[in-house]
A and B are shown apart, each in its own frame.
Chain A
Amino acid sequence: MKNQEYNYWISSIPNIGPKKIELLLNTFGTAEEVFKASGSALKTVIECAKSDQTVRFMQSDLDAILHSKDKNRIHMEFSRLTERGIRFISKEEEEYPDKLRQIYNAPYAIFVKGKLPRKDQKVIAIVGARECSAYGTEITRYMAKSLASEGVVILSGMARGIDSYAHNGALEAGGITLAVLGCGIDICYPKENIKLYMEIQKEGAIISEYAPGIQPFAGNFPMRNRIISALSDGILVIEAKKKSGSLITVDMGLEQGKEIYAIPGRICDILSSGCNNLIKMGAKPVTTPMDILEDLFPDGYRNPAEAIAKTQIPLSKGEKKVFDCLNLEPKYIEVISDQTDIPMMELMEILVKLELRGLIRQTIRNHYIQNLQ
C-alpha cells in the first residue's frame, strides 16, 4: 500500500477525528506504523489517553480501527477517489493550505474537487441565514459579485439561502468560489444545489474534511464552519438571527484572528439582529464592497461601483416615479400603486416594461424590488 493510502485509511475511520489521529501519529510516527501496530499496542495507547482525558478514546474506537484494516477495500476506495476527480490532501503534503494548518483542531486531511486558490489570492467567507429575506438575497448577490469581480475568492458553505446566493453571485461575475461541505464530498446537500455543485468545481473548489459517503449529520456543520473561517481572510455576515449557525463561524473566525464584517439591517428585523449585534461588538459595518476591499488591498483597488455602474437608460416620468418608489424591500403592486398614485392598470404596464429592461425584478409574484445591477 502507498503512503497516501495509509493516510487515507487513518482519516476515514468512523469517529476518529483530528485529535485522535494526532495522538496516534504522535505515538507511532506515521499512518503506516499505526496500521501495522498490533491490537495490544493500540490498546495501551488508548488506555493512556483515557487517563490523560484530553482525548476521549473509547473501546469502540479501537474496534473501529481494527475493523477498518482491510487493504483491498482501502486500495479500492482510494483508487475510486482518483477516478472521480477527488483529491485527497493530508497535512503532510505541501498543498495542504497553510491557513488551515495553523488552526486548533485542524483536519488531518481534506478532500478537494477542483482547484484550491493560490496563496496570494484573498478569500472572503460570506455566511448568513438559510431563510433569508429579499434584502439579504440582493445584498449577498451584490457583494459576492462586486468582490469576485475584483478577484476576491468567495467562500461559503453551499447551504440554502445566503450561502447559495453568495456562490451564485461570484459565478455570475465570472469569479472563483469555494464551498466547504458538512458531508462527504461526493454528496450534494441540499440536493437542489446540484447545478451550483457542478459549477463551483469548474474554476473554484469543493472542500470537505469528510470522506465520501458521509451523510450531512447536523453535528458536522459547526465543525465545517471552522474550516470556512480558517480558509478566509475575513468573514462577511449578511443576515443572521440572534442564535444563528453563522455566528459559530464568526466565533471561530475571531479565535483564528480573522476580520469580521457585517451588513447592518433595520433594528426591528429579526433577521438582522445577529448582524447588528456583531456591529455593536466591534465588527466592521459594510455598506459598500469598498469597505472590505480597502482592508484586503491596502495598496489600492478598482472601484467596483464604477465597473458595474447602472447604464443610464432614459425613463419616462411614470417609469421614474415607479422606479424611485422601489428599493430592496419587496413591495406589492398595490402598495406601489398607493405610493405613486398610479392606477393599477397603468402601473402594471410600467412594471412589466421596467422588468423587461432589467431595472427591477420580482422576488416573488407581484412583489418588486430594484435590481442592484
Chain B
Amino acid sequence: MFSKAYSAAIHGIDGLIVSVEADVSDGLPLFDMVGYLGSEVKEARERVKIALKNSGYRLPAKRITINLSPADVRKEGTAFDLPVAIAILTALGYLEEEHLKDVLIIGELSLNGSIHKVNGVLPIVYSAQQKGFTKCIVPKENAKEGAVVGNIKTYGVSTLREAVDLLRGETGMSPEHLDVEALFQKKNREEDVDFSDVAGQKAAKRAIEIAVSGMHNILLIGPPGSGKTMLARRIPTIMPELSFDESMELSKIYSIAGLLDNQGLILKRPFRAPHHTITSSALVGGGRTPRPGEISLAHQGVLFLDEFPEFQKSTIEVLRQPLEDKAVTIARLHGTFRYPAAFMMVAAMNPCNCGFYPDRNKCSCSINMVKRYLNRISQPILDRFDICVEAMQMNYKELEATHKEETSEEIRNRVNIARNMQMERYKNENFYFNSQLTPKTIKKYCKLDSKVRTLLEQAFATMNLSARAYHRILKCARTIADLDLSEQIQTKHISEAICYRSLDQKYWGE
C-alpha cells in the first residue's frame, strides 16, 4: 500500500517541502530508501525500524520502499526520521491517509521511540505556512520556535506514540502558543553589559557611537588591556532594538545553525567574536551542503575580530564581497545559497608586536617591525573601515573616577535619532545607511559649502590624504552631522571625521 507524508529540508535559509512516500508491498523482506540522501538520512532506516518496534508497532516481513521527493535535491539531517515512520505506519494502515493531509512533520527518532530536537524548525514552519499547510508536528523542544510563525498550528511531541495519537485526533493536545507581541513589548533590554561600565575612553566611545549610527565598520587600536574587547562587547547594546522582521530573519539563521536555544526568537542583536584561527568557510559559511557562517550569525549585529592581524590573510579577504553585498552567496553544484550578512565589522588590534607603540619607553619594536605588523592587513580590507580609533591605556585616576559614565540607553537614543534621519533621507534609495554611500551618491547627499570645501582641500594638502580617504571622511562626516541634527555638513563635522580617518602608512610608524 502506498502513502505520502510531508516534511521539509533546509535550502539556504528557507524550508523546501519534501514529500515522503512509502510503499509496502509483497516481495522479499526489504527496507529501502531512495531520493538523493545524505548518509544520516540513509541511517534513518535503522532508527525508524527499531523505534517502530519499541513503540509497539510490528513491521511485517514485506518490501518497504521510501522515496523522498523531489528526488534530485540532496537531503541531509535527521528531521526525516519521524515523517518516514509516520508514512510507513500509514502505509501499514495504522493511520488514515487523510490524517496526513496538510500536515508537515519533522523530528529525529531515538531507538526507544522518543523524539529529539532538530535544526531549522523556524524556517521550515515558516515555509509550511507559506505553502498552505495548517498543522505542523515538531519535536517538543523545538515547539516554541515553530510557534513563532502565526496562522499555522504547531504541535510539540516527545514520542512517536504521541505523534500517532495526535494525527488520529485522539488526544486533546493544544497547539503550542507563543505571544510574540508580548515578547517584543517586554523590555527585552536586560543586557548584562552596559557602556557605563567603561571608564574614560571618550574618543573611542564617541567613535563607536558614530560608527553605530551610520553602520560604519570600525577598527580599534590600542595596547593590550586597554579595553578594546570591553568596548566592542557593548556595541550591540547601543544599536536600535530589533524589529520583528529583523528578528525573524535572524532567528531563521540561528534555527538552521541549531543555536536557537529553547527561546523561540532572537531578541538581542548578536555579538560574534570568532577566534583568529577560524577558517574562511566557518567565517562566511560553507560546507558540502552550505551552512551559515559567523558573518551570517552576526547579521544585524556585530562581528568582532579581535587580534585582527593574526587572522589568516585569505580568511579576511573573503569578507570583502559580503561587506559590499550585505549577504553572502555560496554556489554549489546542486544549488546556490544566499545567507544574509548585514553585520557591522568591528576589529581590534595592537599597534605593534609588543603592543605599546608609540610609547618608546615600553615598546622595543623597530619602525620596520611596526610597519610589517600593520602590513599584515591588506589595503583593500583597511579601506573597508570608515572609522579608526585608538583605545588608550587608562590611568588609575580615570579608573577611580566617580563621575557617572553615560549609559547605553542614553547613547542609543542619539543613535536612533541619527538613524531616523538617514532613513528619511534615503527613503527613495535602495540603501539605508551613510556607510553605504557610493561616490555618486556622496555627491548627491554630502554637499559642502565653500568654507568646508576649503578646509578639506587644505587638509588634503597638509596631511597628504589619499582619494580613498576622501570618500571615507565624507561618509563619516555625514553621520557626525546627522548626530548633530544638521542637514549641512559643517567644518567641525569634517574636522572630527579627519581625526577618525583610516590608518595609513604615513601616520603609523613614520
Residue numbers of A with Cβ under 8 A of B are 130-134, 160-161, 268-271, 330, 332-335, 337, 344-346, 348-349, 351-353, 355-356, 358, 362-367
B492 near A337 (CB under 8 angstroms)? no
How many whole Å from A267's CB to the nearest CB in chain B?
12
Assembled-state Cα–Cα distance A333/B392 (Å): 10
Closest B residue by C-beta to A361: B462
Counting CB contacts under 8 A, is B458 at the interface?
yes
A160 near B367 (CB under 8 angstroms)? yes
A355 near B462 (CB under 8 angstroms)? yes
A-B CB proximity, top 3 nearest: A349-B495, A352-B495, A365-B507
Q: Enumerate chain A residues within 8 angstroms of B390, measured Cβ to Cβ.
A: 332, 365-366
Query: When each residue 118-132 of chain B gets 1 if its CB lies under 8 Å from chain A and 0 otherwise, what string results?
Result: 000000000000000
Given contacts A332-B392, A363-B510, contact A131 B360 (CB under 8 A): yes
Q: Enumerate chain B residues within 8 angstroms of A358, measured Cβ to Cβ.
A: 462
Q: Among A270, A353, A362, which residue has its beta carbon within 8 angstroms of that of B361?
A: A270
Closest B residue by C-beta to A352: B495
Q: Enumerate chain A residues within 8 angstroms of B509, measured Cβ to Cβ.
A: 364
Most buried by A among B202, B463, B480, B495: B495
B457-510 interface with A by 8 A CB criterion: 458-459, 462-463, 480, 491-492, 494-496, 498-499, 503, 507-510
Q: Enumerate chain B residues within 8 angstroms of A130, measured Cβ to Cβ.
A: 366-367
How many whole Å from B472's CB to the nearest CB in chain A?
14
Q: Enumerate chain B residues within 8 angstroms of A131, measured Cβ to Cβ.
A: 360, 365-367
Q: Enumerate chain A residues within 8 angstroms of B368, measured Cβ to Cβ.
A: 160
Counting CB contacts under 8 A, is B203 at the interface?
yes
Given contact pairs A160-B368, A349-B496, a sample of 8 additional A-B residue pairs in the complex whose CB atoms are under 8 Å apart = A337-B202, A345-B480, A348-B492, A352-B495, A353-B495, A364-B358, A365-B503, A365-B508
A133 near B496 (CB under 8 angstroms)? no
Assembled-state Cα–Cα distance A367/B509 (Å): 12
B462 near A356 (CB under 8 angstroms)? yes
Given contacts A330-B358, A344-B206, contact A352 B392 (CB under 8 A): no
Assembled-state Cα–Cα distance A362/B499 (Å): 11
Most buried by A among B459, B492, B499: B499
Closest A residue by C-beta to B454: A356
Assembled-state Cα–Cα distance A131/B369 (Å): 11
A352 near B510 (CB under 8 angstroms)? no
How many whole Å from B492's CB to the nearest CB in chain A?
4
What is the number of contacts between chain A and chain B, taking CB atoms within 8 Å?
Answer: 86
Counting CB contacts under 8 A, is B455 at the interface?
yes
Q: Enumerate chain B residues within 8 angstroms of A330, measured Cβ to Cβ.
A: 358
How many whole Å from A192's CB to the nearest CB in chain B?
9
Q: Among A334, A349, A352, which residue has its beta carbon within 8 angstroms of that of B202?
A: A334
B203 near A271 (CB under 8 angstroms)? no
Q: Enumerate chain B residues within 8 angstroms of A271, measured Cβ to Cβ.
A: 360-361
Assembled-state Cα–Cα distance A352/B473 (Å): 14
Given contacts A334-B202, A365-B503, contact A352 B361 (CB under 8 A): no
A133 near B492 (CB under 8 angstroms)? no
Assembled-state Cα–Cα distance A353/B456 (Å): 11
Assembled-state Cα–Cα distance A348/B491 (Å): 10
Assembled-state Cα–Cα distance A241/B491 (Å): 44
B342-375 interface with A by 8 A CB criterion: 358, 360-361, 365-368
Q: Enumerate chain B residues within 8 angstroms of A362, measured Cβ to Cβ.
A: 463, 507
How many whole Å from B443's CB to the nearest CB in chain A?
23
Assembled-state Cα–Cα distance A356/B462 (Å): 7
B366 near A364 (CB under 8 angstroms)? no
How many whole Å from A318's CB to the nearest CB in chain B?
12
Q: Enumerate chain B residues within 8 angstroms of A346, measured Cβ to Cβ.
A: 492
Most buried by B among A134, A160, A333, A346: A333
How many whole Å from B386's CB to the nearest CB in chain A?
15
How many whole Å from B497's CB to the nearest CB in chain A?
9
Q: Enumerate chain B residues within 8 angstroms of A351, measured Cβ to Cβ.
A: 495, 499
B499 near A366 (CB under 8 angstroms)? yes
Assembled-state Cα–Cα distance A271/B480 (Å): 40
How many whole Å from A370's CB to the nearest CB in chain B?
16
A352 near B366 (CB under 8 angstroms)? no
B495 near A334 (CB under 8 angstroms)? no
Assembled-state Cα–Cα distance A348/B367 (Å): 27
Q: Enumerate chain A residues within 8 angstroms of B492, measured Cβ to Cβ.
A: 345-346, 348-349
How many whole Å from A143's CB to the nearest CB in chain B?
19
Q: Enumerate chain A residues within 8 angstroms of B508, measured Cβ to Cβ.
A: 364-365
Q: Among B360, B392, B499, B507, which residue has its beta carbon within 8 angstroms of that of A348?
A: B499
Closest A residue by C-beta to B365: A131
Query: When each residue 222-258 of chain B gets 1 if its CB lies under 8 Å from chain A and 0 otherwise, what string results?
Result: 0000000000000000000000000000000000000
Given contacts A131-B367, A334-B202, A356-B459, contact A349 B491 (CB under 8 A): yes
Q: Among A133, A160, A352, which residue has its beta carbon within 8 angstroms of that of B360?
A: A133
Q: Enumerate chain A residues within 8 angstroms of B366, measured Cβ to Cβ.
A: 130-131, 160
How many whole Å from A237's CB to the nearest CB in chain B?
17
Instruction: Return 10 A-B CB contacts under 8 Å, by A number.
Output: A160-B367, A269-B361, A332-B392, A348-B492, A351-B495, A352-B459, A355-B462, A356-B455, A364-B507, A365-B503
Assembled-state Cα–Cα distance A103/B459 (Å): 51
Most buried by A among B360, B367, B458: B360
Assembled-state Cα–Cα distance A58/B384 (Å): 62
Assembled-state Cα–Cα distance A330/B203 (Å): 16
How many whole Å from A99's CB to the nearest CB in chain B?
33
Given contacts A270-B361, A334-B202, contact A345 B462 (CB under 8 A): no
A364 near B510 (CB under 8 angstroms)? yes
Assembled-state Cα–Cα distance A311/B170 (Å): 97
Assembled-state Cα–Cα distance A345/B494 (Å): 10
How many whole Å from B307's CB to the nearest CB in chain A?
20
Q: Enumerate chain A residues within 8 angstroms of B203, measured Cβ to Cβ.
A: 332-334, 337, 344, 366
